[in-house]
Amino acid sequence: VLQIPEATLKLQWTPFVRKRFVLERFTISDTEVIVKELEDGNWQIGGITLAGEKEPAEPSAWDFGLQQVTIQNSVIKLVSSQLTSEVKIEQAQVSKMTSWMPESSARLEFTGQLNGANLGLQMDVSPFGSEIAASGRIGLQGLPLDPFVPLLQPHLKTLEGRLDIDVNIDTRLNADGGLNHHQKGSVKLHQIRTRMADMNLAKESLVWNGAIRVNIGESSKALKIITDGQLNGSGLKLEIENENLAVQQKNFSWKGKIDFKQDKTRQDLKADGQIGLADLKIESPQFSLTEEKLTWQGPVQVSSTAGTEGQGIIADGMLSGDHLQVDLPGRKLKVEHRGLLWKGRLD
């Protein structure tokens, strides 16, 4: 289905002599488009079926430019075998996109909703240069996660919750296939409920605020992830049915830096910061454990290689606990300890 009650089009004719198609202004309003995946795997857009795979076409001798394209009060519906989504466009605008100036940036602005969640974008994009680049701000509030379950199966059987995003990003895809991504801001998950295999996981909230940098080398031969910020969580409940094990934890916090590197032969993880757990409780038929507060502060390094000789853990810092209780009913043994404090190095 394609409905376009109103459209305005204005072209620049002079650039035609240089084989340049320039769309000076294009505006559509009150439009509805349905994008549908057909049973044979082809796609249909607005009732028009797209042809299947073809041989790569020869590069066009024509360049094109978009001075201003505006969409207002419109809806795009996506229907596929794995995902059904709806994008409501209050206003979207692309401006100053020119294929014959590959290093220049086009401006993309969007205000609307994705599956009922408020979505805002302000991006500068360079799709024609030696590297594809995008930078700007993404704001998303209250996105329901359950429509995306089919995309995550069979790893996740169910998923509920909401997602908020407020980040500034800078992403670049190099000609050799390498990817550089940097983001700074907050990502929040609320009221998470999910099932994985025999595990049920629930989390009231999980909030990240800080910077993340991801570098993927040529042909995915190397991966590097650096984070610097704070992660807070609350209300964890985990049940592992086959083990008859239940874990509850009220509050979790991490503040610091993490540096992860991986290549074909080695993995290295370095973390330096402070992690805290409050009101931890673990129960099973074999034992039960409770800890009112547990804190680690200091650097930790974990390394591994293809061979066992390259594996190791180094920790240098301070571990403190408040009130630990352990019950082993099978052995009729109970252990209780208050005021744990350890400082040193493990290698």
Amino acid identity for residue 278 in this structure: A
**Cα 270 to Cα 43: distance, rounded to the nearest angstrom:** 45
329 Rama class: left (phi>0) / alpha (psi -120 to 50) / beta: alpha
Q: List CB contacts of 116: < 8 A, sequence separation 6 or more.
A: 86, 142, 144
Q: List CB contacts of 133: < 8 A, sequence separation 6 or more.
A: 105, 124, 125, 126, 170, 171, 172, 173
User: What average pLDDT values come out for the chain (347 residues) when binned by 10 residues?
Assistant: 60 64 83 88 80 60 79 93 93 87 87 97 88 94 94 89 98 87 97 94 96 85 93 96 94 97 90 96 95 96 77 93 94 92 92
Does residue 213 contact residue 181 with C-beta atoms inside 8 Å?
yes
Does residue 175 contact residue 130 with C-beta atoms inside 8 Å?
yes
* Structure-token pair, residue 197: 């295999």
Q: What is the pLDDT of residue 24?
A: 80
Does residue 6 contact residue 29 with C-beta atoms inside 8 Å?
yes
Q: What is the pLDDT of residue 3?
A: 57
* Global confidence as pTM: 0.86
**Cα 71 to Cα 32: distance, rounded to the nearest angstrom:** 11
Q: What is the pLDDT of residue 5?
A: 66
In angstroms and rounded to an integer, the radius of gyration of the C-alpha atoms of the chain is 26
Q: What is the pLDDT of residue 4?
A: 63
* Structure-token pair, residue 205: 């909230």
Question: How long is the chain?
Answer: 347
Q: What is the pLDDT of residue 342?
A: 94
Q: What is the pLDDT of residue 75?
A: 95
